[in-house]
Structure formats: structure tokens, C-alpha cells
Chains A and B, each alone.
Chain A
Amino acid sequence: MHKHTGFLKFLFVLILLAAGGLIWYAFQSESRQRYIKNFIKQIPELPGRYSL
């Protein structure tokens, strides 16, 4: 039961962070949105690049 509540709390914080991030992103200029989008798009590549 305790474990279950902990997970829900974690999920709630995660959703809050994601929502906050999305709101912040929506208020950025178009060029900054492109910069951030380009960065996020490449995040999956970072471990491979770091390993070289």
C-alpha cells in the first residue's frame, strides 16, 4: 500500500514537471523552440556519442 502511494506521488511530480515544461516551452520564441526541439530530438544519441 505504502509502495503504491509512493509511486503515485512520483507520477504526480513527473506530470507536474512535464506540464510545467510544456507551458514554459509554449511561451518561448519560435527560434528557441527550434533549438530546444533539436536538442531533445538528439537526446537518444547522447549515450552512443559519449561512448566514443
Chain B
Amino acid sequence: MKDFDVIVIGAGLGGLSAGALLAAQGRSVLVLEQADRIGGCCSSFERDGFHFDTGASIVEIIKPIEDVFKKLGTTLQKEVDLIPCDPVMSIIRPDGSRMTIPFSIEKTGELISSISPEDGRRWKDFVDFYSEMADVTLDTFFSMPADSMTDLFAMLGRQPRMAKYLPVFLSSYQNILQRFFKDERVLQSMGYQALYFGLPPALVPGPYAMIPYTEQMGIYYPRGGMLKIPEALQRMGERFGMQVRLNTTVEKVVVRDQRAQSVILADGTEITARVVVSNINARTLYQKLVGEEYLKPISRKGIRSYAYSKAVPMLYLGVDYEPPLEAHHNLIAASPEDINQYWWKHVETGQLDYETIGLICWPSHTDASLAPKGKHVINLIPEGFYNLAEGNWDDLKEEYIQKELDYYSRFAIPGLKEHVQYVECSTPLDYERRLCLPEGAIYAFQQDLTAQAIFRPAARSKNIRGLYLTGASTHPGGGVPSTIASGMIAANLIEKYEQ
């Protein structure tokens, strides 16, 4: 007799969505989380009256999340107060001028036309192309397993229109954008989003160039902070009996007869379960918790081959003025080629650039309750990386904060430095320590063509029976909707294979 039907390692979005759905199937579920709070990268914390988000800053492509809440007998909108972000974003050019993208396909088209009439006409073609593709992929790629070729054929069977989009995989994000748009200023508003997939535009597969379109399907912020999404999943799961234990580190997954049997905690306690669901990085799972000795030789080579995804530093700022920004998301203008050059010159060499591309989040623009009256919360996310050519993040942190404040105050957020009341920085090293993200990798593994779908660690382990994967390590990859979808995919597989 096992202690639980299911043990979930990690209370990130994938772990909580899988746990809640499995509890709704009538299984006894225990979720074990090493941190003192749930949510992983999608979490929030409070300092001096300012409410900050740990990592994730908005949610878009909400259909997979809606599907999970529907399966839990409720709706996303009922459980989480999602505030639409309008404008979608503001692009800040080096001279300080702005280009603000409205939440409207038509108005965005007009804006693009005012810059380049030719690109304005192509915006319509771009929207037509990606609106159909978004429909197709949301119905398949984001909701079905991709563990084997059979799974891929099943996707094609469900949506034969997918075949039409297969050639898009042979082009990069950048190629696709440049096929539609020619004006540098227009491209500057669409290149950065490639980094949401952890790679520069030259290496991200073409299908993801749909992001500038999906942003127009709506980007949202949960009132009260990003933590509200994992909290809603936890609340739903607990309604069905799911238990969550914080500050509980799993050190080992016990495997016997090539089947996961139990987990051993840091204090030596063993908890048995019929099924183990992992919501941690798959390399950590297979190499440390399971042990490579339980993998086939070819799988050992496979797991070692994954490169960790990008890591970023993040500055959490509480300010006592209304910052001169125009949107929830503000980007430092950079063309796809600028971003590629940044990647080759800095990420790949470890040479830190203090004056780089980055994202400025202004969540209190959307939800004023995040800061005391008259004050605001800003999250600066300059591009960065884990491996530095010289020094280490701990030693650099204070200097880094000052240099970034200087840089952003100079043109992007005038007056910022004089109005900072609270500042804290999470470096990639901090993310590694606090959230157990190896090398601070926020999307687990790089998401290029060779680490997608069937080439990402399978949701249902092909080496260990009774072991299932969720989160950014597995299909469909990193990001809020994808990780929540991964929990649903794992729960569906468990329902099918673990009676």
C-alpha cells in the first residue's frame, strides 16, 4: 500500500496544474516544494509595502490555462481576476522617443502603416497567416503529448492543417519576420519577443514568430500579482484533496525494476507513491534525483546534450513617483539583428554589457494595489546570462544595480534613480539557489528546433515507468501557458496509463 497515489516534486505551474487535475481524477496527491512559497518563476513577494513578481510578468495565450480550469470544474476568469494590458507594449528608442503598440489589430496596423505603408499592408497578411496557425497549434501543440512520432501523427490527424505550417519550422523567427516586414522601426517592435523562447531571433523556430500576433489576442495581468495564478491552481487542487508541503526538498527518486517507487526527502523520510510527477529541470531529475545508472546509454547521452536556456538578472524597484512609461511592458528598441549581435558578442562570450537590451515591467500601471498610494513597482529585466567571463554575480551585484539604474535613468525612465525607495536584485545565481533552476535557466533548456516536441524529454518517461514530467523541461516548453499545459498533458497521460 503506497502512501499516496501521486507525488509531485515542485509546486511550479506545471506541478500544480498536474496535481490539481490528478486530485480531480480522485487520486491522493502530495505536492512537495523546496521553497517557502509556490509558483516557482510565477510567484510574488512583498517588501516595504511593494508587491513584486519573482519572474513571469504577464500571461498571454490563455486558452491552455482556460482548458485546465474548465477541467477543474470552474473557469480561469472566475478564479483569477485578469486585467487586460492595454497598450500591449511600448518601444523605447535610444533617443528616448516611444512607439506604443495598442491592444487592437486594426490600430496596430494603422500605426505600422504610419511608419511604413508597405509593412502596414503586410501586417494584415501576417495576422491572417498566424491567426490560423494559432488556432491550429492551440488545439494540438499546446494540448496534446509530443512524446513520439505517433503523437505527432495524432496531432496531424486532429488538425490536418498543421501540415501546411511544417515548412515554417525550416525558417527562423527572424526569417519569418523579415519575410513580412522590411522597416527597421517595425522590426524593432517584434524582435525582442524571440527571447521569450530563450534564444536570439536567428535561432528561434519560425512558428514562434506568431507572438507579435498572439499579443494582440490579449496579454493579461492577474490582479494582486502573478502568484494569483498558482494560488488558484492550489486552491482548486485542495478542493479535491491535494496536499502541498512547502520547505520540503526531495533528494532522491527511488527506482526499482525500472519503476519509480518513492521519494526520499532531505531529512531522510521516504514517501511512497504509485506515480511520481516531476516539475523540476529534467537534467536535475535524471542526473541527480534518479541517477544516470537507470537510463539507457543513449538516454544518458541525450540528457547531457541539452544546453540550459537563457538566464536573466532582475531588478525589483519600489519608486515614489509615477515613472514616465507608457505601458505594462516596455522594451528597449532592438532589431532582430541587434539582438543576434548581442547574443554572439555577450551571451556566448560571457562579457557582461551593462547597457543592453531589456524589458521594463510596470505592473502597478495595470494594478495600482501593488504599491502604496502614489508609489509604483517596476521590474527591470536587462538581458544577461549565467556564466560570466570574469568575476561572479555575487561580487558584481551592487555594482550591477548601480550601473543599470544609471543606464535606465538616462533615457528609458528619466528620474528613476532619484526616486528609488526600495531595490533588490535577483541574479541568475540567486535564481539557481532560490528556485533550483540550474544555471538560472528560466526556460529549462534552449528551445531551438532540436529541443522541441519529440526531442524534449518526454512527459511520460521512456526510461522509468511511473515517472512523468511537467514544466519547462518538457513539451510544450517554457512560459506560463506552456507549463500549465504540460501539467494537463501529464495528467491526461497518467489517466490513460496508470489505472
Instruction: List B contacts of A52 (CB < 8 A).
Output: 282, 286, 295, 299, 302-303, 457-458, 461-463
Contacts A31-B337, A45-B450 given: A50-B175 contact, CB under 8 Å? no
Mask for B170-214, Cβ within 8 A of A = 1, else 0? 011011001000000000000000000000011100000000000
Q: Which residues of the partner chain A approach B174 to less than 8 Å between Cβ atoms?
A: 31, 35
- Whether B450 and A48, one on each chain, are in contact in the complex, defined by CB atoms closer than 8 angstroms, is no
Interface residues of A (CB under 8 A from B): 29, 31-32, 34-35, 38-39, 42-43, 45-52
In the complex, the answer to whether B172 meets A49 with C-beta atoms within 8 Å is no
Interface residues of B in 276-301 (CB under 8 A from A): 282, 286, 295-296, 298-301
Q: Which of B202, B286, B451 contacts A34 (CB 8 A)?
A: B202
- Which residues from chain B contact A49 at a C-beta distance below 8 Å? 302, 305-306, 450-451, 455-457
Interface of A is mostly: helix
Some 24 contacts from A to B, beta carbons below 8 A apart, are: A31-B178, A31-B201, A31-B202, A32-B171, A34-B202, A35-B203, A38-B203, A38-B449, A38-B450, A39-B449, A45-B302, A47-B298, A47-B302, A48-B299, A48-B301, A49-B305, A49-B306, A49-B450, A49-B451, A49-B457, A51-B296, A51-B462, A52-B302, A52-B461
In the assembled complex, B454 has its CB within 8 A of some CB on chain A: yes
For B296, the closest partner residue in chain A by CB is A51
Cross-chain contact B175 with A29 (CB below 8 angstroms): yes
Give a binary string over B416-432; 1 marks a CB under 8 Å from any A CB, 0 the rest: 00000000000000000
Contact B305 A48 (CB under 8 A): yes
Closest to A39 in B: B449
B470: CB under 8 A from chain A? Answer: no
Report yes or no: A35 in contact with B172, Cβ–Cβ below 8 A: yes
**What is the 8 Å Cβ interface bit string for chain B, positions 125-167, against chain A (1 contact, 0 not)?**
0000000000000000000000000000000000000000000
Q: Add 5 more A-B contacts to A29-B175, A31-B340, A34-B202 (CB < 8 A).
A: A31-B337, A45-B302, A47-B302, A48-B303, A52-B458
Which one, B455, B462, B463, contacts A46 given CB within 8 A?
A: B455
With a cutoff of 8 Å between Cβ atoms, the chain B residues found around residue A46 in the complex are: 450, 455
Tell me if B5 is interfacial: C-beta within 8 Å of chain A.
no
Asked if A35 contacts B171 (CB within 8 A), the reply is yes
Is B203 touching A50 in the complex (CB atoms < 8 A)? Answer: no
Q: Report the nearest B residue to A38, measured CB to CB.
A: B203
Q: Do A35 and B175 touch (CB < 8 A)?
A: yes
Kindly state the separation between the CA atoms of A48 and B292 in the bound complex, as whole angstroms: 13
